A = this chain, B = another copy of it.
Amino acid sequence: MSKIIPARNGTKKDAIILKAATLFRKKGYVAASMRDLAESMGVEASSLYNHIGSKQELLQSICFKVALKFNNELTAITSAKGKVVPRLEALIRFHIHMMIDAYDEVHVANHEWKQLHEPYLGNFLQERKAYENSLIALIEEGTAAKELKPIHPHVAVLTLLSAVRGLEFWQRHKKSVTADELETDMINHLLTGLIQ
């Protein structure tokens, strides 16, 4: 018999959620079994149920924890005063840092939300939509102030969000590019383009 070790500054439940995020990222939510998860914690599958309600609850915790963090940051940024460009830059930097600090959880929220049950699925999509709309408003503010080029704001948001989401593929290049270089180059690319 082994024991579940609580997460740093957290409960045993938190520890399970963290391991679940790693496992769900690696294998996908459906393909990852509770036995896999239990094994990775050195425990039998049924023992997990002393701490959690269900497998689905784990996914919900992960997805909404991530959503909350992004929402808090975006709210701070959109409600701040000042030029749009530096605020946009701050948001991109935040996305990059989230992808580095909470890689597994962000990855799972991005890829496995489909497996959420109702009403969580609907809530999650609604939060995403709201996030997108706030960002669209920020772009429009920038275009109106002539800080940004005239561009269809939906397209700009799509490009921005997709680009930062793609940071999940960056793990492979960690050796050749540092996080700082990445940040600088990506922000430059997204804000000022590739062409000399």
Contact = CB atoms under 8 A, between A and B. Distances in A.
Interface of A: 27-28, 30-31, 85, 88, 111, 114-115, 142, 146-149, 151-152, 154-156, 158-159, 161-167, 169-170, 173, 176-177, 181-182, 185-186, 188-196
A162 B151 contact: no
Contact of A170 (B115, B158, B191): B158
Tell me the dominant secondary structure on chain A's binding face. Answer: helix
A155 B182 contact: yes
A190 B186 contact: no
A21 B162 CA distance: 22
Given A154-B176, A155-B182, A165-B166, A114 B28 contact: yes
